[in-house]
Amino acid sequence: MSTSKPIAILGGTGDQGLGLALRFAAAGQRVVIGSRKSERALEAAEAVAKQVEGAQVEGRENAAATAGAEIVILSVPFEHTAGTLKSIRDALEPGQIVVSMGVPLATAVGDGPMRMVGVWQGSCAELVAGLVPEGVHTVSAFQNVSAHRLQTLSDPVDCDVVVSGPKQPRARISELCGLVPGLRAIDGGPLSNARIVESVTALLIGLNVRYKVPEGIGIRFTGLP
Amino acid sequence: MSTSKPIAILGGTGDQGLGLALRFAAAGQRVVIGSRKSERALEAAEAVAKQVEGAQVEGRENAAATAGAEIVILSVPFEHTAGTLKSIRDALEPGQIVVSMGVPLATAVGDGPMRMVGVWQGSCAELVAGLVPEGVHTVSAFQNVSAHRLQTLSDPVDCDVVVSGPKQPRARISELCGLVPGLRAIDGGPLSNARIVESVTALLIGLNVRYKVPEGIGIRFTGLP
């Protein structure tokens, strides 16, 4: 049993959060699934434990999941980003890394998922960075990875993850990506680049529809050293 | 000698325009390189003819290059987009396809190439669409393809091209992509998606710097049928 600090996945009951929970658990990481209701978090944790032998996984209410975690992944719909952060604010501590994977899709205002709404700060990730307490790091990652591919543990994910944010936390999240088969971290530079990465998700959603690929199209960068 | 209407590449004396001219000429297409000064266009045409045996390539001033072309590719720096369109407006005719490959990089205002300026219309491509005469189609393509890779005729380009715009012209430009080894057209849907594709270029420029890849990093989509 690993005694390292866990990875909290808030909104881990949703498709993409659950996919990440499965992958990290399968990679031997301690995972705590967070949800607004602890019963739903427990259900999701049980689902992970059923699929991954020896999984170190728990389920808790969001703030309880956040307390003591090394990494806190925000896997909630964009419109719940600020509210979720407010609800966990007291549990956050300097040194923790909050990972923003939200995308300001226009579904937030009742429009379609192939379009976006503008965010004053530039991106969901920058919105997050403005709301976390001082000393908590914000990293942008995982926006372009399809939930279906994450959840299909038998197959490698086959997708690059652009990781943006301050250097050290970015390196830590990149390391985490490397634990998942077929996931490759790409050095996405400063957090402000999240606005580009987030918008790629809207493009991918459109591609999934036009090419009829429910399992989700991914991206790869070519020509890397 | 093909008698089909040519592809005009305005700004074809620049790195990326010249790369496209080389590739299309090598694919047996008639190419007319356009420039503000006909002498410079002629020089670029000669450079293409030297590299590609049997190339059907000419060089003309922009408006003269535009007249009678089937496709007019705008390969000028973003800040010259509107000015170039005004200079060729009288030469454009209904049915022609104008291809926007410009990216509103912040270099347009003296800032760096990894950041962008906002465009009122949403993207360079939509700016173009608002400036061409009625009946002229606008398609967005080629923003993410590195000049160096295009110019290295010995190697396949190894990059996807997201093509956005109205259906028929989009299909025509996609067909054109298919003639270049290693270039694959991706159905990018409506022209408004150009704002995403254009921003990816700024991300790629940053990646080229961080990963020290002067030949240019490209993108591929995974999971396509």
The Cα A54–Cα A158 span in angstroms is 25
> Is A193 in CB contact (< 8 Å) with chain B?
yes
Measure in Å the smallest separation between the Cα of B213 and chain A Cα atoms. Answer: 7
The Cα A28–Cα A1 span in angstroms is 9
pLDDT band at A12 (very low <50, low <70, confident <90, very high): confident
Pairing mode, if any, of strands A218-222 and B218-222? Answer: antiparallel
B133 DSSP 8-state letter: P
Contacts of B224 in chain A (CB under 8 A): 207, 211, 213, 217
Q: What are phi and psi of A185, to 5 degrees?
A: -80, 135
CB neighbour list of residue B101: distance below 8 Å, 6 or more residues apart:
B16, B73, B74, B75, B140, B141, B142, B143
A60 residue type, one letter? R
Contacts of A114 in chain B (CB under 8 A): 189, 193
> Is A17 in CB contact (< 8 Å) with chain B?
no
Predicted local distance difference test score (pLDDT) of residue A23: 98
The tokens of B9 are what? 């590449």
Predicted local distance difference test score (pLDDT) of residue B12: 87
Q: What is the mean pLDDT of chain A?
A: 96
A135-159: per-residue pLDDT in tens?
A: 999 999 999 999 999 999 999 999 9
The tokens of A12 are what? 């881990």
Contacts of A197 in chain B (CB under 8 A): 203
B142-196: per-residue pLDDT in tens?
A: 999 999 999 999 999 999 999 999 999 999 999 999 999 999 999 999 999 999 9
- pTM comes to 0.93
